[in-house]
Amino acid sequence: MRRLYIDFDGVVLDDIPPLYEKLGIDKGGIDNGSAEEKIQKFANFDYSEVVNDKYILNDSINCIKKLLKSKKFEISFLSHVHSLDEAIVKVKYLRRHFKDDITIIIVPGKISKTKMVHSEGAILVDDFSSNLREWREAGGIPVRFNNELESKGFKVINRLDALLDMFDEDGNEIC
């Protein structure tokens, strides 16, 4: 069984576009305010507005349930957050769908995911290329999640249950 870490934003939920829209930040993550003003926007936002079933991405909740049932992976969520409120909202959301059968690891936004868990030999599914590059450099197996299947040099999927065809019963990569 191989360790599998699943990012939240842009993988489980398509919550980034509505978040940026509500905060007045353009698609590239840029707004007209200072960095401090942007940090304050994230810190004071009510994340329950975007962390809800309305934004489920490509049937991700059911796909994760299929992954759990397969017993190929030891699954954890690994998610960056900008505030304690964001962490609380995400944990409550995930617990509503998964009870206690998946570990949830919250990562402060300024810390690399590779510093929070043992990444060597573990899979990370993430939509953000920088996280995937760091994961690869730390000896992990990066898998990019992208609706258009744009790989940017990584293995790429647009549904989480596609992992079932990428790895065998022991969690080893299928060529």
Spell out the domain ranges in the chain.
2-14+54-166, 16-49
Residue 34, pLDDT > 80, answer no
Helix 60-70 to helix 84-98 angle (10° resolution) is: 60
pLDDT surpasses 80 at 54: yes
Question: Is residue 35 scored above 80 in pLDDT?
Answer: no
**How many whole angstroms separate alpha carbon 149 and alpha carbon 159?**
10
Which residue do the tokens 């030891």 mark?
74
CATH class given for the domain over 2-14+54-166: alpha beta
Residue 28 above 70 pLDDT? no
pTM score: 0.93
Average pLDDT value for residue range 73-98: 96
